[in-house]
């Protein structure tokens, strides 16, 4: 398959314009972000309550409550992690529909993401371990982001297994360094803008959760459009 020539910055601009027309792309990750924020709030409140009981109750009761607290928090953390994976995959699947000009169907995209859950989890674990090991260096995490850029769309849209998707992503990134770097720089700038918006509006009590939810939903919606588009345009280079 031949690699289609394209203007990376024009495609990135097109992704932003497409997001404005398909704002529903922000819903899955925004919803999970809101759930995560509430989870963190209740964990924090639970930690305060547990420590308060420890100061007034007996030691055995406190240790039992502490163990139950950490066990429940760990379980919820796993559930939240799976929700994030599914939400990200759902948005990437919907991004492909948006680029093709079709109408968005989040339920269909969610079913598509759910069918890939095992491979998604395996890929996230492998990439996460690699990022953790290389975190001792300055460029390590950036290198992981560079080489793993196309893993998600390769699994969800390309129907590849976790190992195949990682291999494909590495090949695409190596053969197409400039578009991949352009996408990474765009994500960095978008993240900075999102941080500024949250900093400017998030200081208002009660509004901070809403701002973070909306901003992060649109941020990943934009990133998903970019990586889904670039994967579609560059996947031909795998066999080139």
In a domain, 230, yes or no: yes
Kindly report, residue by residue over 93-126, the tens digit of the pLDDT.
999 888 888 778 888 999 999 999 999 999 999 9
In a domain, 2, yes or no: no
Residue 127 — very low, low, confident or very high, per pLDDT cuts 50/70/90?
Answer: very high
Q: Between 205 and 79, where is the model more confident?
A: 79
In a domain, 3, yes or no: no
Whether the CB-CB separation of 89 and 108 falls below 8 Å is answered with: no
Q: What's the pLDDT at 46? A: 58
Residue 43 — very low, low, confident or very high, per pLDDT cuts 50/70/90?
Answer: low
End-to-end CA distance of the chain: 7
Mean per-residue pLDDT of the chain: 83
Alpha carbon 99 to chain centroid, angstroms: 19
In a domain, 231, yes or no: yes
Where is average pLDDT lowest: 58-72, 78-92, 144-158? 58-72
Residue for token pair 């939400």: 87
Kindly report, residue by residue over 165-177, the tens digit of the pLDDT.
999 999 999 999 9
Whether the CB-CB separation of 150 and 172 falls below 8 Å is answered with: yes
Count of structural domains, the chain: 1
In a domain, 179, yes or no: yes
Kindly report, residue by residue over 25-39, the tens digit of the pLDDT.
998 988 888 887 777
In a domain, 198, yes or no: yes
Task: Return d(Cα 182, Cα 151) in angstroms, integer.
Answer: 17
Domain that holds residue 14: 8-238
In a domain, 42, yes or no: yes
């Amino acid at each position: 398959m031949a690699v289609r020539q394209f203007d990376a910055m024009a495609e990135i601009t097109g992704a932003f314009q497409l997001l404005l027309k398909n704002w529903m792309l922000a819903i899955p990750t925004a919803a999970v972000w809101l759930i995560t924020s509430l989870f963190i709030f209740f964990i924090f409140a639970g930690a305060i309550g547990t420590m308060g009981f420890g100061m007034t109750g007996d030691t055995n009761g406190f240790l039992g409550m502490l163990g139950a607290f950490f066990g429940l928090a760990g379980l919820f953390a796993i559930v939240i992690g799976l929700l994030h994976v599914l939400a990200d995959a759902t948005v990437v699947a919907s991004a492909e529909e948006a680029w093709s000009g079709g109408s968005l169907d989040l339920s269909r995209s969610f079913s598509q993401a759910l069918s890939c859950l095992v491979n998604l989890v395996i890929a996230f674990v492998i990439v996460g371990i690699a990022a953790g090991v290389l975190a001792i260096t300055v460029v390590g995490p950036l290198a992981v982001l560079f080489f793993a850029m196309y893993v998600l769309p390769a699994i969800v849209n390309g129907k590849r297994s976790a190992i195949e998707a990682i291999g494909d992503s590495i090949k695409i990134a190596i053969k197409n360094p400039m578009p991949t770097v352009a996408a990474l720089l765009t994500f960095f700038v978008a993240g900075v803008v999102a941080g500024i918006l949250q900093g400017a509006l998030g200081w208002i009590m009660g509004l901070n959760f809403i701002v973070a939810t909306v901003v992060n939903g649109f941020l990943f919606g934009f990133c998903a459009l970019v990586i889904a588009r670039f994967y579609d345009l560059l996947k031909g280079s795998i066999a080139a």
